[in-house]
Amino acid sequence: MKIRITFYLICFLLAGSLSAQQTPAQKQSEAVTIVGATAHIGNGEVIENSLIIFEDGKITQIMDAGSTKMQYRGEIIQAEGKHVYPGFIAPNSTLGLVEIDAVRPTDDEDEIGEMLPNVRSLIAYNAESKVVESMRPNGVLVGQIVPRGGTISGTSSIVQFDAWNWEDAAVKVDDGLHINWPSAFRRGRWWRGEDPGLKKNEDYDQDIQKLSDFFAQSKAWLAGDRSTPNLPDEAMEPVFSGKKKVYVHVDGEKEILDAIQFKKDQDLDEFVIVGGYHALGVADELKANNIPVLVNRPHTTPNMDDQDYDYPYKLAKLLAERGVMIALESSGQMERMNTRNLPFYAGTVAAFGMDKEEALKLITSNSAKILGIDDMYGTLEKGKSATLFISEGDALDMRGNILSHAFIDGREVSLETHQTELWKRYSNKYKNQKEEESK
């Protein structure tokens, strides 16, 4: 027992030593003027020679610098030849919920149970995560933090990536309920002696019925005597009133169609498909029902033997051409670390046929609209949050995504991370070694 306690204590201490980030930036104290950069607005528009002024955390002016004689204010950043972008937004992320996969005390993305609408990801969010910190040098400044597991995983919240704690980080609290839709097929369970291949899920209809029964039970409790507390049912109230979106994690065509029917049966207004690997086959139904899709990252191989080799790369483009509102998300293998590649996912979509500024919308304005934060984030517009960054080149290309400045709500945030510290440390080591050998 003592050995076990000692082991967990060491794990906690190790996690603590690995998770301290830089001190969050101070509130913006003076105006900032960015001059001469190519401004990518995030809605498809571009201003080649821009003038951007922001103060008190909000953009006060954005225009063509050559068409105005407006006096610059506060700190002046000469950015000729550089590019300005709105901060990239990462939907459906577990950033801050898991730090080290192999250290169980740092893993808080799931809870025991199947129907958990009352579970809130926000209160488990670690604002001092080193993984979260590593998002900022690539321009990923805002994210939706989502729980995993169960049929109803719980409630997500949207945060910005430079904060002391989860209270300071919160941008939109409890924005949506997340449902893992049952699969019509499953793999054989070897521990039951079943063939390991794919087969029909005989419990599929029963699983959907359980979900429907839970919704009916919650509606009945909310309409009845509420003197005895019931946290799961109480958490469903904003879902039924339309104040909280419903995000359904589903991939198959049949399952997506069944989810759309579930939306109609339950009279759910705010409904989003997450993943949607086979959504192209039901694109017309998604468009007709005004259902957006958070498409999984394109850096993967096709799931089906008979699919085009580039199907994951072009899926977002094909759905957009069919009139479906889409954005990109990065769940999957090593999803927290890979979230920093979000701009390069959009770049890949552009490389496979989508216009570059349209691809940018997949991680800026479209993401903001789907998450319901487009009133303040997602585009460079007067009155919106000054959450933006300056890049040496094309931010959707890893060769050009070199940030010189980044701002969240007008506060200039650090671009130093544990990784940049190690890079400088070891690059200096070999630089000094080479100098000594040349003497």
Query: How far lies 435's CA from each of 131, 191, 284, 424, 430, in Å?
Result: 34, 61, 64, 16, 8
How many angstroms separate the CA atoms of 54 and 34, rounded?
9
pLDDT at 85: 98
- Report yes or no: 247 and 156 within 8 Å, Cβ to Cβ: yes
Residues contacting residue 86 through CB under 8 Å, at least 6 positions apart: 40, 41, 42, 364, 365, 377, 378, 379, 380, 387, 388
Q: Which residue blocks in 108-185 are alpha helix, DSSP H?
A: 130-133, 166-169
414 contacts 25 by C-beta, under 8 angstroms: yes
Which residues, listed in sequence order, are joined to residue 186 by a DSSP beta bridge?
A: 199
150 in Cβ contact with 180 (< 8 Å): yes
- Residue 18: per-residue pLDDT: 45
Query: Rounded to an integer, what distance in angstroms lies between the CA atom of residue 39 and that of residue 52?
Result: 9
Q: How far apart are CA 191 and CA 347, in angstroms?
A: 43
In the prediction, which pLDDT does 16 show? 44
Question: Does residue 439 sit in helix, strand or coil?
Answer: coil
Q: Measure the CA–CA gap between 336 and 333, rounded to whole angstroms.
A: 9
Q: What pLDDT does residue 3 have?
A: 57
Per-residue pLDDT tens, the chain, 439 aa: give them. Answer: 455 555 444 454 444 444 445 688 889 999 999 999 999 999 999 999 999 999 999 999 999 988 777 788 899 999 999 999 999 999 999 999 998 888 888 888 889 999 999 999 999 999 999 999 999 999 999 999 999 999 999 999 999 999 999 999 999 999 999 999 999 888 777 777 777 777 888 889 999 999 999 999 999 999 988 888 899 999 999 999 999 999 999 999 999 999 999 999 999 999 999 999 999 999 999 999 999 999 999 999 898 888 899 999 999 999 999 999 999 999 988 899 999 999 999 999 999 999 999 999 999 999 999 999 999 999 999 999 999 999 999 999 999 999 999 999 999 999 988 888 888 888 887 777 777 777 6
User: Is 3.40.50.1580 the CATH classification of the domain at 87-378?
Assistant: no
Per residue in 188-233, pLDDT tens?
777 777 777 778 888 899 999 999 999 999 999 999 888 888 999 9
Q: What integer pLDDT is reported at residue 17 of this predicted model?
A: 43
What is the per-residue DSSP string for 252-272?
SHHHHHHHHHHHHHHT-SSEE
Hey, is 185 helix, strand or coil?
Answer: strand
Looking at residue 12, what is its pLDDT?
46
Q: What is the Cα–Cα distance from 384 to 10, expressed in whole angstroms?
A: 45
With 0-12 / 13-18 / 19 or more C-beta atoms within 10 angstroms meaning exposed / middle / buried, residue 237 is middle
d(CA 15, CA 26): 26
The Cα–Cα gap between 235 and 114 comes to: 15
pLDDT at res. 419: 84
User: Which pLDDT belongs to residue 426?
Assistant: 87
Whole-number pLDDT of residue 146: 97
Question: Would you state the torsion angle of the CA atoms of residues 22, 24, 28, 34, taken in this order, to the nearest 10 degrees?
Answer: 50
- The pLDDT value recorded for residue 20 is 45
